[in-house]
Structure 1
Amino acid sequence: MADPSPIDIQKALGGMEYPASREDLVKHAEGKGADGSVLETLKNLPDREFDSPTDVNKEASR
């Protein structure tokens, strides 16, 4: 499965309030019907608070 693009991740997190935990990000993306690759990427993020969409994308691209 290909890694999702930062745009795909941000579409799934549209309307997300920050700071947000990894669990919050996953729940939000699931609620918006994100595809499996986006959810998998979010579930693999470090278990910490994220301050912004940019913060999420930086971790997701590592």
Structure 2
Amino acid sequence: MARLSPVDLQKALSGADYPTDRDKLMERAKRNHAPKEVTEELSHLQKKTYENPAEVSKAVFGE
């Protein structure tokens, strides 16, 4: 299984409205037919509000 990349994450979340939360991010990824790796990573995010894609990327990748 290939490691999830920031590009894969942003493609999976394309069209997401911010601010948003973990559950809405997971719903968006599923609607965008994201790979299982993406939804698994999103499921581990904290239940909080994410203001923009950069915050989501930081939460997933620790950047």
The TM-score normalised by the length of structure 2 is 0.92
Q: Which residue of 2 aligns with 1:35?
A: 35
Q: Which runs of 4+ in 1 moved over 2 A?
A: none
Following superposition of structure 1 onto structure 2, how do residues 1-62 of structure 1 map, counting pairs within 5 Å? Answer: 1-62=1-62
Return the alpha-carbon distance in structure 2 between the equivalents of residues 37 and 8 of structure 1. 10
What is the deviation of 1:3? 3.3
What number of residue pairs does the alignment pair up? 62
Task: Structure 1: state its 5+ residue gaps.
Answer: none
Q: Percent identity?
A: 37
Task: Structure 2: state its 5+ residue gaps.
Answer: none
